[in-house]
Structures are given as C-alpha cells and as structure tokens.
Homo-oligomer: A and B are copies of this chain.
Amino acid sequence: MHEPGTCQSCSQRFNSVFCKAKDEFVNQINEQKICNVYKKGQTLFNEGSYPFGVYCINDGKIKLSHQGDDGKEQIIRLLKAGDVLGYRALLSGDRYSASAVALEDTQVCFIPKDLFVSVLKMDPGLAFEMMKLLSDELHRAEIKLTHLAQKPIRERLAETLLFIKETYGFEQDGITLNVRLSREEIANLVGTATESAIRLLSEFKKDGMVELDGKKIKILKAKELIRAANLQD
C-alpha cells in the first residue's frame, strides 16, 4: 500500500461514484479530504454514532454490518477499493445504522459532510451517480431480502460464495477467493448459525465444489455452485 496521492490522479476516481463529478469539485474534495489507514479489524464508525462525512476506499476491504436485536451481527455489504461508505446515514439525516470494520489493512479518504453535501447540490452528475448507487443498493437489498425469506440455507450459502467472488474476485491462481473471512462472518453474511455454515461448507467440499484451507476458499466448480444457488435471474 503506497501513500495516497491526489483525488485527481486517484486510481479509483473513474471507478467510483465520483466518475461523473466535475474537475472543479474533485479539486475541492482533494483539498479537504483526510486520508487514513485502518488496520485489519479496526472500526471506521459504529452503529448509533453520527456521521461527519463519507469515506472513500482507496485500497483494502471493509465489511458493513448491523447489530441484530439480540446482538448478532448481520453483514449487509462488502466493500472494496472505489466504494464509498457512510452516505446512507448522512443522506437520511440519521445516525449510522451499521458499523464499518476493516477486513484487512485499508486506506480510506474521508470527505467532510458539508463539502460532500454542497458538491452534491451543485453537481448534478455526482447527484445522479449517487441516486444510481442508492438505487442499485436498494435493488440488491430487495433481492437479498426475497432470498432470505424464500431460499434454504444451502442455496444462500452457494449464492454468498458467488457474491464474494463477484465482489473481491480471485487471487492470482484464479480460484482462491481474494478475501479472508471467518466461518462466523460467512454465516453472518448468509444469515444462519455458524455451525450450519461450517457444515454446509464441508458438504460443498465433499461434493468437490470448493476446497477449504483454513480461511482460504477455492472455488473448484463454479457451475455446480451456480446450480446449487438455484438462481433464476
């Protein structure tokens, strides 16, 4: 991980919600941004606290999770370089409804609330991208909601593995998922008990669909996994 440069030359600039933002505003953001590194396991913000701005991931991985009423974690989003977080609460005028924790050492730029809001008001391009982002997230949430309500855990686990693949891709070998998640985190992504996730992962392994080596998960038969996920869309 190298030092962050300017927003203008940021490798993620055209890969993020800021892709359509005017140069003039990108310059303003560059001047006021505050870059920071969060070590693996560190918290960016906590559910219940007030947002003071948005975070833009330069490099690394972050999980966003809710605390269920009984204290159980539910992971609602996985974020990577180019992703922005913290906007939901800010736009709703709410406290954070989720906590953000780094899954590995992660470099993020913080953009203060007032600046973000004022740019959003002056730059329709950014505003539109923001609406698109929100709409896409809403879509994803609604699909997940339907699957949680209707699909058995085995299918949801298969789907989750494919989702992790979509989000973080593979390592150089082309088959190992490029993120390390505990079985508990996988369970909290699927929405099930940790033991159930472990058990089904073992089944997938027995069926030859995946290979397990500690937290390294290799996808051996993506097609069968897709079948196991039973996706129509």
- A93: nearest chain-B partner, CB-CB: B132
Q: Is A91 an interface residue (CB 8 A)?
A: yes
A191 and B138 contacting across the interface, CB-CB below 8 Å: no
For window 58-78 of A, CB contacts with B under 8 Å fall at 66, 68-70, 72, 74, 76
CB-defined contacts of A143 to chain B, threshold 8 Å: 66, 97
Binary contact track A106-138/B, C-beta < 8 Å → 1, others 0: 000000000000001110100110111011111
Listed A/B pairs (7) with beta-carbon separation below 8 Å: A69-B150, A76-B145, A88-B135, A92-B135, A134-B138, A138-B141, A144-B145
A141 to B76, CA, bound (A): 10
The prevalent SS among residues of A at the interface is: helix
B132 and A131 contacting across the interface, CB-CB below 8 Å: no
Interface centre among A124, A128, A138, A147 (most CB of B within 10 A): A138
CB-defined contacts of A128 to chain B, threshold 8 Å: 120-121, 127
A149 to B68, CA, bound (A): 9
Binary contact track A10-29/B, C-beta < 8 Å → 1, others 0: 00000000000000000000
Taking the closest CB of chain B, its distance from the CB of A170, in whole angstroms, is 26
CB-defined contacts of A135 to chain B, threshold 8 Å: 87-89, 91-92, 94, 134
A191 and B69 contacting across the interface, CB-CB below 8 Å: no
B139 and A142 contacting across the interface, CB-CB below 8 Å: no
CB-defined contacts of A124 to chain B, threshold 8 Å: 121-122, 124, 127
CB-defined contacts of A72 to chain B, threshold 8 Å: 150
